[in-house]
Structure formats: C-alpha cells, structure tokens
Structure 1
Amino acid sequence: MATRVPRRGVAAAVLVLGDLVLLEATVLLGILVRLHAAHWFAIDVRPGNFAGVAVAVVFLPLAYALAGLYPGYGQTGVERLRKRVTVTALCFGAMILFDRLALDGLWSRGILLMAGAVAVVAIPLWDAVAQHLLIRWGGWGEGVVVFGPEDRRRALADTLTRHRELGWIPVAWAERPSSGEPPVPGVGLALVALSGPGIVPPSSADDLPYRRVVIVPDIGPEMGDVQSLWISVRDLGAELGLEMRRNLLDPVNQAVKRALDVVFAAGALVLAAPVIAVCAAVVAVVSPGPFFYVQIRTGLHGRPFRMWKLRTMVPDAARRLDRVIAQSDEVRAEWERSMKLRNDPRVVPVVGGFMRRFSIDELPQLWNVLCGEMSLVGPRPLPNYHLVRLEPCAQRMRRRVRPGITGLWQVSGRSTTSLSEQQRLDTYYVRNWSLWLDIHILCRTLLVVVTGRGAW
C-alpha cells in the first residue's frame, strides 16, 4: 500500500517553535501587567528580574519532550490535554518555588503567576490548533507497518485512517512477520493485530526489526467494546495484567464533577438569560404556542425528569414528520439512519433553524444542571422513540451517568452521526470518563457551536 508520510521531524519542530514563541509571549504579557500595576502599587520593578523569567521558560519544551509530546503520535486528544496542562502547571509551580526558596524572590512571582495562568490555557489550545493544521497540510504522522490476518489488519488500518489525530499512517502490511525480513525504510513502528490464539503470537514481536511494537489484542465479541483510556500495565510475574481505572465509581470524582457543573452552570445561566429571553420572544411572535418546550426524558439510574428547551418545532410536529416519512422512502431511510432530518419540516421558520444550528435552544437546560438532573457533559437525554432504538447494553450504560447538555457524539458530527456511531461514542464516554475528557469535550463544543458545523 503506497501512502504518503510526512517528512520526519517537521511536526516536532513546529510544536517546539510554537511553544517557545507562545511561552515568551505569556511572559511578556505578565511583564506588561506587572509594569502597569507599578503605577498603583509600591512594587520594586527591576528589568533584570524579567530576564531570568524569560530564560527559565525556555526549558519548558524540555519537559514537554520528556512527557512524549514532540510530536506525541499515538496519543488521543484527551491524553495530550492532560499532559499539556499538568506539565505546564507543574513547571510554573516549580519556578515559583525555586524563586522563593533559592533566589529569595529575585524573580517576579507576579509575572510567573500571570504567565502560568495564561499558559495553562494557551498551550493546550495551541497544541490542538497546530495538530489540526498539520493534519490538514499533510505534516502530521509517521509510517507504521501492520501485521495480522487480513480482516483484522484492514479494520485496524481503517481505524487509524479515520483517527488521523493519532498520527499513525499504515504504509505496509503483512499476514505475519517473516524471520530475518528487513524493516520498511524509514519506519520504526509495527502494529501486531492479534486474532485468536496462535494466529500472530505476541512472541513473534521479538523478531520484528522495529524500535517500537504495539500489540493490538482481539477482545472478541463476548466482551464487546472495552475501556481504552486510563489503563495501566501491571507486571504479575509471568502474567500481564491491565488495570482499568473506573473513574465514575470514585466518589471524589463524582463530587468534583458535580461541583464544577453547579459553578459553571450558574455563571453560564446568568450570561445566557438575555439570549434566552430574546429568542423566546421571537418564537412567541413567529409560531403560536409556548416558547418553552418541556419533555420527559430518562436520567441518572433511569429516573425520568422534565427537560427544558426553547421550542424550535411547530405545534403539529409529529403529524408533519409522519406525513413526510410516508411520502418519501429517501426521507424514511435518513430518519432510520440517524433519527435526524437535514430538511426537517417540523422546524419553526425564521428562528428555529438558527437556534438549532448554534444550540441556543439547549440553553434552558442549564437549569436542569443546577437542579442535579443533568450535567454539562454526558450522553444527550434522548426522546423515547430514539432511546428504544438503542441496544440494551447502550441503554444500561447511559443510565450510569447524568445526561449532558453536550456530549461526545455532539462534537463528533452532531446531526451527521449514525445511530450505531451515537451508541459507540456514548458508551466510549461512560467507560472512559474523566474530568479531562469532560474538559476536552467542552473545548470542542465551543468550536462546534461557533462554527455551527454538523447541525440542522
């Protein structure tokens, strides 16, 4: 298989240079704020102190490199986010501590605090933007060789092609490793896809002439999809163990998630109140009936609750849907595939499509979050006609968490995702949940909502 692979080192160079520029920019911002504050507070401003801080942040890329972020192929966006935030915060914290204990305050802690606070947000955003641009321009990824039976290696290659953010580009494949076979030039990574015992035994990886080898086990249909994040390898003597951290069962994590929900939902509801009021008034003018739409949805542990939305559909929406489905096989197929219609006849004219495109109709659900019925992030609470179409396993998984205003499949295609893809993404969220995953989804939600991408 002939596939173009980016030139080695380009992505790492872009990330390093971008990090250096951005870190120095955060220090410059801190210096400007500090100098501005000197007009109101008695602060001893010494330009020599600033130079020390500017030089110190140059060493942060070394910490990023040690964390495996240059370029960091094979890591999900959630893993990159966690590492970027953690390493940045720890490094700035260490510099503040060093300034206090070793330099007796020679550096400016105010500059460090300001630069650190900005960098913790700006560095992960830059990382995501740089990765997106490198993927778009063909500068992201390294070649990999895939070994395994044809069905398994094709499935694995398709997965890697879909998830380009991982940066693993299949350039060659084979049934099984051949003894003494030279490596593919320029490739240092091999993936061995197992398919039952003895097909491509893990021991065969010992003979592969590659610096890194990743074993991809065949879980089997009896186990279905399994957790893939927050897994640690355990050496059990002659056995290999995989420890899966079930974050949703940790009461501390649950308390933190709930606290963040309340704080952010309260602030967001205050800011969104004028927008809700204006849109409600427009709905009342252009369409008869109430401007709020309340429907019973299924929540945590299967408990029903009243979910609030701004009404975006006409009063006789159900009748219009039945009529358009009965008139067109193409429309029926579209509805069966995703439970959505691109040209939905039920939508209120003038304002309905606009509110749905930018998710303004979901803003009243901030009240549901404050009441503890929903979360900011989680599987979307579905209407019963949509919920019953899901497999029993997917329905059980959804009942383990509070439904969310936004979720993983909302930022992975919104209305364009098929029913099976919706199930897969929701179960992935529940199995792999962490606060980092929530932050990752919230950041992607802002981008998706602003662009209106994938919604109708």
Structure 2
Amino acid sequence: MPFPFLARLSGLSNVTAVSGLGGIPANPVRSATRQIGPAKLNQQQALNIPAALKRRLAWFAVSSLLILADIVAYMASYSLLLPYLSGTSDSVPSERIFALAALAVIGLNMLTGLYPGYRLHEQEHLRRRVTVFTKITLLSTVGTVLLPDGLGAVSSVILFLFLGLFFQPVLHRAARRLCRRLEIWGERAVILGDAGQVSRLMMHFTDRWQYGIQPEASLADAVAFSSDRPAIALVAGGVDAAIADLPALRRKFDEVILLCDTPDLKVSGLQPADAGGEIGIRLARSSGLATPQFARRVRDLAIAMPALLILTPFILVAAAVIYAIDPGPVFFRQAREGLSGKPLRILKLRTMYQDAEKRLETLLRTNPAIRVEWETSFKLKKDPRILPFIGHILRSSSFDELPQLANVISGEMAIVGPRPFPEYHLRAMDGKFREKRRSIAPGLTGLWQVSARSDADIKLQQQLDEFYIDNRSLWFDWHILIRTIPAVCRRNGAY
C-alpha cells in the first residue's frame, strides 16, 4: 500500500490527523490474514462480556505487561550498576531514590501514550522515551544544588536511567509478542472497501501487527457483529462516500479512520487543520535551521572517529587475508554520486577478483538468467567474482564498507542516509528521484539496508530511500542506527 495518512474522525467537525500506520515500505511477505469465523463469534458471545469492557480489560492487561517490562528493565539496570555503586563513596543514593526515578519515568511514559503505544512508529517510541529521559535528567540535576554531595548521587541515577533505555526496547518487544500470543494485543478493526482494497489492507496491517491494528473483518462480515463489533472502522478508497455515510458509521463504531492513498505525500509533519468545520490536513515544513544538520555532523564525528580507531587493526587483518588470496591492491575507490551531485570516491575493502568487471561482462553475455537477476537489483546471489572465504564474510557482514568511516570523517558522507550507488544503478531510477537523492549526503547505513538489503528490487529501493528523505529526522536516524546491528547480524539479503 502506498504511504497512507489517516484522519481520525471523532465527529463531523472534530478531526485529528496522525501519521501513517506502518507507512515505511516493506519487503513483501506472505502472511495469513486472520478473520473471525462463526465459531469464534459464538465463543465470544457465550462469555457474555460487554465489548467495551473487554476492550478495557485488554488495554489494562497490555499496559500492565508493558509497565512490568519497564520495571524489569530498571531492575536489570540496577543490577548492572550495583557493583560500581558498592565501591563508591557514601554519596551513593539509596534504593528508594532509584525506585522513585524509575517510577517517575514510568509515569511520564504513561502520560505520553507509551502504554500500550498503539499506532506509533518505532522511531516515535524512541523519541518519546528519550524525551522522558531528558526531562527526568534535567529534574535530577536540581539535586546537585539542593543536596550535599549531590553530583555523585545524580550521576548514578542518570546512568541508571540511561542503561534502562537499552533494556526497555528489547523487553517491550518481548512483551508485545507475549500479548499477541495471548490474543490481547491491538485494537480490532473492520475494513470497509472493495475486495481488492480489503485484501491488501488485511495483509498490510497483519504484517505490521506491532502497530496494534487487528483487521478481523471486511464489510461483508460487519453485519455479523452486534454488540461485539470492532470499535474501529478503517475506510479505504472513496473518502467522499465515507463522509456522506459518516453519521451512520459513527453510530456503529467508536472511531472511524479514513485511509487515503497519497503516494507523493510525506508522512511526517502532518497536523490537523480546522478550517471552519471543514476537514483539513496541514503539511508542516522544516524550518530550515542549521541546528539539526550541525547535530548530525557532531553525531557522525562522535561515532566515526572512535569507531575507525578501534576497527583499524581488524581492517588491516582483513586486508592481509585479501592480499594472500589475490595479490594486489586491498582497497579500492569507486566513483559514486554525492551531495548536490558532486563526485564521491568511496573507500572499500576489495572483496572481488581484480578482473571482476571482465568476469561480469562474460557472465551477462553468456547467461540470460543471470542477466535478468542482475537487471532486477544489480546483485547476484551466487557471484563468481567474489573472493573465496574472505570475500563472502566481508560482504555478508558489511565489513568491507567500514573504510568509508574515513569518508564520513571527511564530510563527504554521513552515518545515516541513502547509500551512494554507482552510475549504472542510478540510471535505472527516474530523474526526479535522483534530484531528490542529491539533496542530502549519502550514508554508511540507511533505511534500505535495515529493511531489505539486496533482496529489494529497484522500485522498492527507490521507495525506501524516498520515504527516508521525506521523513528525515534525528529520531529516524537513531532508529535506523539501532536497527542496523540486528540487520547485520541476521545477514538477510547480504551477498
């Protein structure tokens, strides 16, 4: 489904606009959609529990499990910190102070809608958590003024909360999966639209179950629901027709959401606009201030400089192995397109034979199947050009890209951004998109790398890059950075 925006309708003139659910394009996957059949309906009706009460109980159970996950995260954080605290001075805060700090964070998380946190992108979860952490940190610094020897105590509390930030996403993910297994995760929704739209949306929301939309019925099934009908109606397709039927829909459902296909509309920056009772969506534009760009540059240097220093010995070992297998230059520079279309020569460890281009030309000329595979993604799953042993290891782990940390330090690249493609790859993309791509610096990792890597075709690569450019933010960058580590470890689509 193209990038949708959603208009949440609480009445004829009360409109709230929120960003798209699962709007990031994803690699298509096969999934079985789940619908409610007569047996399940009879089972639910036999319990004779009002639908509203069941929704509240499920909401309470999910929120409780997520809060418990946060408590466990802070217990793990305290356990890690305890050996350090036991060896410090008497200025160490008591357990009660740590407990109060954790409860303050959990309370603010509740106020910001993180329990249960339905319909929020992962980067929005991250943004809200870091915002809460920052607020508590600022409040804690008051202790350095009000308390004697408060600096040591406050620094311990801040470190305690900071460690919790790393445990919370992992435990929250486990809690969500448990809730899904218990069939209490998410809000049930009926999808109104034609058969094709219903099928596509059923798959879309089932694949993205973590956003908390349970597409359990289509328009044909809606009649079967009496008091147990879903609370939410998702209306696809003709918005005008849906607005005409809005009074009837509002009587049947607690919430009506209009799904509109807007492939050229960015998802972030959408805000509700009340234009004299008319439904309006306002698209906010970036202020153009240099502060975010400066913050990105500081972040890039803070990551790239120590990383290159630490990884240099390992890069040299890999270079020695490459030379032993195929004597010759162990590094190579390749021309790519950089910011504003300026030529960029990226630095990589050599993972192919020195005559790789000749081998590729021969292969494409003699093997039609290989040519089709190459023209689809400009990658080959079984590439005879790759050096044995070391070549596959370096490429599957993306270790061959790490010398580009030098490009990041020089300012030619960023840590996060669209990957710099060679010219033959860019020629397969349309000119309008290429101009958009030139507007930001290419990156060492990006949305494409953490979503599909080499499994994505040209169209999906373009969609992922375009989505990132249109929705670029510091929070989105950190979200991609966090996802990069598991993406590299899984090695899906890396060859």
The TM-score, its normalising length taken from structure 1, stands at: 0.87
Higher relative contact order (CA 8 A, sep 6+): 2
C-alpha distance 446-247 of structure 1, shift in aligned 2 (>3 A)? farther
C-alpha distance 93-119 of structure 1, shift in aligned 2 (>3 A)? farther
- Which residue does the alignment assign to 1:78? 123
SS at match of 1:234: strand
Give the superposition deviation at 1:98.
6.9
Say which of 415, 419, 428 aligns to 2:467: 428
1:267-282, aligned counterparts within 5 Å? 267-282=306-321
**2:304 and 2:125 mapped to 1: Cα distance?**
26
**1:91 and 1:450 mapped to 2: Cα distance?**
33
C-alpha distance 352-2 of structure 1, shift in aligned 2 (>3 A)? closer
Say which of 337, 343, 346 aligns to 1:304: 343
- Which residue does the alignment assign to 2:30? none
**1:81 and 1:231 mapped to 2: Cα distance?**
19
**2:150 and 2:320 mapped to 1: Cα distance?**
57
Task: Return 284-293 or 121-130, whichever deviates more.
Answer: 121-130
SS at match of 1:364: helix
**1:136 and 1:401 mapped to 2: Cα distance?**
42
- Which residue does the alignment assign to 2:258? 215
1:166-201: CA deviations, max 9, x gaps? 2312111228988xx966726322212243643664
Task: Return 106-115 or 8-17, whichever deviates more.
Answer: 106-115
- Which residue does the alignment assign to 1:372? 411
- Which residue does the alignment assign to 1:8? 58
Structure 2 residue 406 is the aligned partner of structure 1 residue 361? no
- Which residue does the alignment assign to 1:22? 73
Structure 2 residue 455 is the aligned partner of structure 1 residue 404? no
**1:137 and 1:288 mapped to 2: Cα distance?**
58
Q: Which runs of 5+ in 2 are unaligned?
A: 1-32, 41-54
Kept in 1, the 8 Å contact 2:356–2:385? The answer is yes
Give the superposition deviation at 1:381.
0.5
Give the superposition deviation at 1:362.
0.3
C-alpha distance 134-325 of structure 1, shift in aligned 2 (>3 A)? farther
1:35-434, aligned counterparts within 5 Å? 35-38=86-89, 43-44=90-91, 49-97=94-142, 108-128=153-173, 130-131=175-176, 140-174=185-219, 185=228, 187-195=230-238, 197-198=240-241, 201=244, 203-204=246-247, 207-219=250-262, 224-247=263-286, 249-434=288-473
1:274-323: CA deviations, max 9, x gaps? 11111111111111331111111001111111111111111222222233
Task: Return 19-28 or 305-314, whichever deviates more.
Answer: 19-28
1:47-96: CA deviations, max 9, x gaps? xx332432452353332222222221211111111112222332354355
Q: Which runs of 5+ in 1 are unaligned?
A: none
Kept in 1, the 8 Å contact 2:322–2:330? The answer is yes
Task: Return 411-420 or 184-193, whichever deviates more.
Answer: 184-193
- Which residue does the alignment assign to 2:50? none
1:336-380: CA deviations, max 9, x gaps? 222211111111112111000001100111111111111101000
1:23 counterpart letter in structure 2:
Y
SS at match of 2:449: coil
SS at match of 1:253: helix
1:211 counterpart letter in structure 2:
D
C-alpha distance 433-130 of structure 1, shift in aligned 2 (>3 A)? farther
SS at match of 2:172: helix
Residues paired across the two proteins, number: 444
**2:92 and 2:129 mapped to 1: Cα distance?**
31
C-alpha distance 103-129 of structure 1, shift in aligned 2 (>3 A)? farther
SS at match of 1:158: helix
1:21-47: CA deviations, max 9, x gaps? 212333454454333112xxxx3567x
C-alpha distance 183-256 of structure 1, shift in aligned 2 (>3 A)? farther
C-alpha distance 260-59 of structure 1, shift in aligned 2 (>3 A)? closer
The TM-score, its normalising length taken from structure 2, stands at: 0.80
- Which residue does the alignment assign to 2:4? none
1:99-150: CA deviations, max 9, x gaps? 9659996994243122122223332343345446766897743321111233
Percent identity between matched residues is 34
Task: Return 373-382 or 157-166, whichever deviates more.
Answer: 157-166
2:423 counterpart letter in structure 1:
N
Give the superposition deviation at 1:248.
8.7
